[in-house]
Chains A and B, each alone.
Chain A
Amino acid sequence: MNTSRLFLAGILWMSLLSPGELPQATDNQAALVKQSSIIFAGTVSQVAATSFAGVPKSAQTIVVRVDSVLKKPAAVSLKKGDNVTVEVKDPAAFQDGTQATFFADGWIFGAGVAVKEVGHEILPSGGTPVAAAGTGEKTFGQLQQEIGDQDLQRRVATADYVIIGRITDVHQWIVPKSAAARYRTSEHSANWHEAVLQIQSILKGPKVKRNKMIVRFPQSQDVAWANAPKFEKQQQGIFILKKDQVSGDATASLGGYTVDAYTCLTPGDWLPLSDEARVRSLLKK
Chain B
Amino acid sequence: MRSLAGYWTRVLPLPVLAVMAGTLFVGGQSPPGVAPTHAKVVDVIPASLSGETNQDSEPFLAVQAANPQVMVASAFTPNPISSAGNAPVYVSEDAGNTWVLSAITPVQRMTCDITHAMSTGENHPRGDLHAGTLACAASITLDESESDDVSSSAVMNVQSTRTNVDQPFVRALPFSNIDHIYVGLNDLGQSSGHTATVDVSLDGGATYKSYSIESRKTMGQDGPSVRPAVAPDNTVYAAFFGWRKFNGSIATSDVVVVRDDAGATAPQAFQALKDPSDKLPGRLVVKRVSIPWSNAPTLGQERIGSTLSIAVDPNNSSTVYVGWADRGRKGDIYTLHVRRSTDRGVTWSKSDLPHTTISNATNIALAVANNGVAGFLHQQLSGGRWVTHVVQSRDGFATIQDTVLASVPADTPVEQFLPYLGDYDYLLAVGNEFRGVFCANNTPDRANFPQGVTYQRTADFNTKTLTDGSGNPVAISIDPFYFSVPVMP
A interface vs B, CB < 8 Å? Answer: 37-38, 52-56, 73-79, 105-113, 181-182, 184-189, 191, 220-226, 245-246
Contacts and interface: CB of A to CB of B under 8 A. Distances in A.
A221 B93 contact: no
18 contacts: A37-B82, A55-B153, A77-B51, A106-B81, A107-B102, A109-B49, A109-B101, A111-B100, A182-B164, A184-B195, A188-B113, A188-B134, A221-B296, A223-B418, A223-B419, A224-B112, A225-B136, A226-B418
Contacts of A76: 48-49, 51, 80-81
Interface string B299-314: 0000101100000000
Contacts of A182: 164
A187 B81 contact: no
Interface string B403-424: 0000000000001111100010
A191 B80 CA distance: 28
Given A186-B224, A188-B166, A223-B417, 20 more contacts: A73-B51, A74-B51, A75-B54, A77-B48, A77-B468, A105-B81, A105-B85, A106-B81, A106-B85, A108-B102, A110-B48, A184-B188, A187-B167, A187-B305, A188-B112, A188-B136, A221-B296, A223-B136, A226-B418, A246-B138
B165 to A, nearest CB: 9
B46 to A, nearest CB: 5
A182 B140 CA distance: 12
B470 A77 contact: yes
Interface in B67-117: 76, 79-82, 85, 91, 93-94, 98-103, 110, 112-113
B478 to A, nearest CB: 12
Contacts of B93: 53-54
Contact of A222 (B102, B153, B417, B458): B417
Contacts of B101: 108-110
B152 interface: yes
A141 B42 CA distance: 40
Interface of B: 46-54, 57-58, 76, 79-82, 85, 91, 93-94, 98-103, 110, 112-113, 134, 136, 138-140, 151-153, 164, 166-167, 186, 188, 191, 195, 220-221, 224, 246, 293, 295-296, 303, 305-306, 415-419, 423, 456, 458, 468-470
Q: Which 9 pairs from chain A and chain B are nearest by CB?
A: A77-B469, A226-B417, A110-B100, A224-B136, A106-B81, A54-B100, A75-B52, A37-B81, A77-B50
Contacts of A223: 57-58, 76, 110, 112, 136, 417-419
A77 B458 contact: yes
A185 B140 CA distance: 13
Contact of A112 (B48, B140, B296, B415): B48
B475 to A, nearest CB: 11
B51 A187 contact: no
Contacts of A75: 49, 51-54, 80-81
A262 to B, nearest CB: 14
Nearest to B151: A56
Given A106-B82, A109-B101, A191-B295, A186 B166 contact: yes
A52 B101 CA distance: 13
A55 B423 contact: no
A112 B152 CA distance: 17
Contacts of A37: 81-82
B103 to A, nearest CB: 8
Nearest to B58: A223
Contacts of A186: 140, 166, 186, 188, 224
Contacts of B138: 245-246
Nearest to B303: A187
Nearest to B51: A75
Nearest to A69: B470
B47 A77 contact: yes
Contacts of B98: 53-54, 110-111
Nearest to A180: B220
B334 to A, nearest CB: 14
Nearest to A107: B153
A143 to B, nearest CB: 18
A77 B112 contact: no
Given A54-B93, A79-B470, A223-B419, A109 B80 contact: yes
Contact of B293 (A38, A77, A112, A185): A185
Nearest to A80: B470
A38 B423 CA distance: 34
A37 B220 CA distance: 46
B233 to A, nearest CB: 34
In this complex, the member of A52, A76, A113 whose beta carbon has the largest number of chain B beta carbons within 10 angstroms is A76
A79 B458 CA distance: 14
B469 A184 contact: no
B423 A187 contact: yes
Contacts of A54: 91, 93, 98, 100, 102, 151
Given A105-B81, A108-B101, A188-B166, A222 B418 contact: yes
B418 A187 contact: yes
A22 to B, nearest CB: 28
A111 to B, nearest CB: 5
Contacts of B54: 75
A115 B203 CA distance: 35
Contacts of A105: 81-82, 85
B221 A184 contact: yes
A221 B80 contact: no
A37 B81 CA distance: 6
A112 B195 CA distance: 45
A188 B167 CA distance: 10
Given A109-B46, A110-B46, A189 B91 contact: no
B469 to A, nearest CB: 3
Nearest to B467: A77
A188 B49 contact: no
A194 B298 CA distance: 25
A105 B80 CA distance: 11
A185 B99 CA distance: 36
Given A38-B81, A188-B166, A113 B48 contact: yes
A226 B47 CA distance: 27
A181 B221 CA distance: 10
B48 A109 contact: yes
A107 to B, nearest CB: 7
A217 to B, nearest CB: 14
Nearest to A245: B138
Contact of B140 (A78, A109, A181, A188): A188
A238 B47 CA distance: 40
A69 to B, nearest CB: 10
B136 A56 contact: no
B476 to A, nearest CB: 15
A110 B47 contact: yes
A221 B417 contact: yes
A79 B472 CA distance: 12
